[in-house]
Amino acid sequence: MRLPIHFPLNIKAIAIDLDGTLLDTVPELTEAANRMLLEMDYAPVPQELLASYIGNGIDWLVKRALTGEMHATPDNALYEHALPIFHQHYAKLLLQSKPYDGVVEGLDALLAAGFRLACITNKMTRYTTPLLEGTGLLKYFEIVISGDTLSRKKPDPLPLLHTANFFGIAAGQLLMIGDSLTDTLAARAAGCPVFCVPYGYNHGESVETLDHDAIIADFSAALALIKNA
């Protein structure tokens, strides 16, 4: 049984998710998925439904767009045909994504309070780096872990454990901030505390249902719940 959390938490570093936490990438991801479907003579899918498919990386977004189901796997030849079409369209739309309101101010506040920052995402490096650079957010992070940086990605704990090791701290001193089940599962498996933002994706479900330690309106709100260890 997990022991109850006592605030403020003793934290030395903070890992932050990308899609749905730092950046609103839904419009670009869903538009790329629908352009892919149209090019393949499939009917377009409402953005709200496509948004619920986001959270486990582009591979699963493409599979879900093709099948209309969360866990179904399309014919492999169909998937292999669709994936590069999606990438072609998404690359053209990528830099239209914007940070959520309060993100820049929140990151500034966390750095000013002395916290070291990491970005951990399931997005591929080929998109993560240009997105962070293009939105001016890359400068905030000492380390960026993308979905293809390590041998496993969230919800596996490896990215969080790797990040804690990079900072030279115990996993319990690394706070994860995310918006989805993928983030909370990874944090719990790694032994990290986890806060959720309520404005992200989480497959269309409320973060109230997740195993989190707190829900915060923005990153600045985390400061009242943590202290620099």
In a domain, 124, yes or no: yes
- Among 96, 114, 136, the domain-final residue is 96
In a domain, 3, yes or no: no
Per-residue pLDDT of the chain (229 residues; tens, 9 = 90+): 565 678 999 999 999 999 999 999 999 999 999 999 999 999 999 999 999 998 788 999 999 999 999 999 999 999 999 999 999 999 999 999 999 999 999 999 999 999 999 999 999 999 999 999 999 999 999 999 999 999 999 999 999 999 999 999 999 999 999 999 999 999 999 999 999 999 998 877 899 999 999 999 999 999 999 988 6
In a domain, 126, yes or no: yes
Q: In the prediction, which pLDDT does 2 show?
A: 65
Q: In the prediction, which pLDDT does 205 show?
A: 87
> Do 204 and 130 share a domain, yes or no?
yes
pTM of the predicted protein model: 0.92
The DSSP code sequence of the chain is -PPPP-SSEEESEEEE-SBTTTEE-HHHHHHHHHHHHHHTTPPP--HHHHHHT-SS-HHHHHHHHHHSSSS----HHHHHHHHHHHHHHHHHHGGG-EEPTTHHHHHHHHHHTT-EEEEE-SS-HHHHHHHHHHTT-GGG-SEEE-TTTSS--TTSSHHHHHHHHHHT--GGGEEEEESSHHHHHHHHHHT--EEE-TTS-GGG--GGGS--SEE-SSGGGGGGTEEE-
Q: In the prediction, which pLDDT does 6 show?
A: 86
The CATH number given to whatever domain includes residue 63 is 1.10.150
Q: In the prediction, which pLDDT does 229 show?
A: 64
In a domain, 68, yes or no: yes
Catalytic residue numbers, as ranges = 17
- Cα gap 18→99, rounded to integer Å: 9
The CATH number given to whatever domain includes residue 197 is 3.40.50.1000
> Do 169 and 71 share a domain, yes or no?
no
User: What is the domain extent for residue 143?
Assistant: 9-24+97-228
Q: In the prediction, which pLDDT does 80 show?
A: 97
Q: How many domains does the chain divide into?
A: 2
> Do 69 and 169 share a domain, yes or no?
no
In a domain, 2, yes or no: no
> Do 39 and 103 share a domain, yes or no?
no
